Amino acid sequence: MSTSKIKKFGLACLAVGAVIGIIFWGGFNWSMELTNNEEFCTSCHEMKDNVYQEYKTTIHYSNRSGVRATCPDCHVPKEWIHKVIRKIQASNELYHKVMGTIDTREKFEAHRLELAKHVWKTMKETDSRECRNCHKYDYMDYPSQGRRAIQQHTKGFDEGKTCIDCHKGIAHELPDMYEEDPSAVLLKH
């Protein structure tokens, strides 16, 4: 083979590689986005009948300005690397879907505290990263907040608290909070 032929072959390989690369990479991202929307999340009855119904009554679903935060906005990181890690972790959810771990309301309620704790822990570790995709401390206009919000926000941020420390149960029903704060739960016998 002459050098010009090798060059031509190399170029052809590059071109084909690029096209295949685009198809695969595009396809990968496309399928990842396909699993990253409300329709997909609520295609399982575990999500649709429990957490989704609860979320529909909250401010993140319907509010005065008509901005909606859907499931992945809060539960899937925006940054690519964190997103891929979360998607890999989601394979565990597939396992529990097959095993039917939470396939009835009763089973779901029995696991609610454990499930909530997972989310609280992650949120705490990431300094509530998914909240901060929209709500940034620095962007807050304190005087336009309520009296209590000004007090609690300035105090909380000074103490190094993160959103989830106070804002639990804002989009879904809370589990039994006895472990978290026995003073705010109906008396246990």
Question: What is the binding site for other proteins (CB under 8 A)?
Answer: 58-59, 146-149, 151-152, 169-170, 173-177, 181-188
Is the CB of residue 61 less than 8 Å from the CB of residue 55? yes
Is the CB of residue 16 less than 8 Å from the CB of residue 5? no
Q: Which is nearer to other proteins, 29 or 63 (CB)?
A: 63
Q: Which is nearer to other proteins, 60 or 82 (CB)?
A: 60
Q: Which is nearer to other proteins, 6 or 149 (CB)?
A: 149
Minimum CB–partner distance for residue 161 and other proteins (Å): 11
Q: How far apart are CA 111 and CA 102, in angstroms?
A: 7
Instruction: With H, G, I as helix, E, B as strand and everything else as coil, classify residue 34.
Output: helix
Q: How far apart are CA 52 and CA 49, in angstroms?
A: 6
Minimum CB–partner distance for residue 45 and other proteins (Å): 23
Per DSSP (E only), the strands in the chain are none
Minimum CB–partner distance for residue 147 and other proteins (Å): 4
Minimum CB–partner distance for residue 112 and other proteins (Å): 9
71 to 47, 60, 74, 183, 186: CA distances (angstroms):
10, 10, 6, 31, 30
